[in-house]
């Protein structure tokens, strides 16, 4: 059973908020969220803090996990995608950082998301801690 998921944000820019996802203390993948826009629904990364991720069945993404307990927000999913335009306020998972055309991106997202689901196969929920190690540099 997975006990903790940690998202450590390492870079914030106009291209998005980039981070590393650790599961039970081990680096698992990289992440991409929208820029910080004051926790606005569908367009912002979520505030630093402690949350619970719960397994859900999304109409668009199927089996996935939702980050719950975010003030004023709902339907924040972990799902595949590559660039900030794919996030809609959610957290995208990828194997590594890169570019798609001119856009900063997370790559190999589909396979990385499948690996995440395999890792989480025996879990209906887990604790998630989000922290910002980017130093706030823009």
pTM of the model: 0.94
pLDDT, tens only, 57-97: 999 999 999 999 999 999 999 999 999 999 999 999 999 99
Domain that holds residue 57: 4-132
Summarize the confidence of residues 3-32 as an average pLDDT: 96
CB 10 within 8 A of CB 133: yes
Token code pair at residue 5: 């998921």
Q: Cα separations (Å) of 120 from 42, 78, 102, 113, 135? A: 25, 12, 33, 10, 30
pLDDT at 138 over 70: no
Residue 25 lies in a domain: yes
CATH classification of the domain holding 16: 2.40.440
pLDDT of residue 137: 45
pLDDT of residue 134: 72
């Amino acid at each position: 059973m997975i006990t903790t998921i940690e998202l450590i944000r390492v870079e914030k820019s106009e291209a998005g908020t980039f981070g590393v996802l650790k599961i039970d203390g081990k680096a698992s993948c990289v992440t991409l969220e929208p820029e910080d826009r004051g926790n606005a629904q569908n367009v912002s990364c979520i505030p630093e803090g402690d949350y619970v991720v719960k397994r859900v069945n999304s109409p668009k993404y199927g089996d996935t996990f939702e980050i719950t307990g975010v003030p004023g927000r709902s339907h924040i999913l972990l799902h595949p995608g590559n660039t900030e335009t794919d996030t809609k306020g959610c957290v995208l998972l990828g194997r590594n950082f890169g570019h798609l055309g001119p856009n900063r991106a997370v790559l190999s997202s589909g396979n990385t998301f499948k690996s995440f689901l395999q890792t989480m196969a025996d879990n209906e929920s887990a604790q998630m801690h989000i922290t910002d190690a980017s130093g706030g540099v823009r």
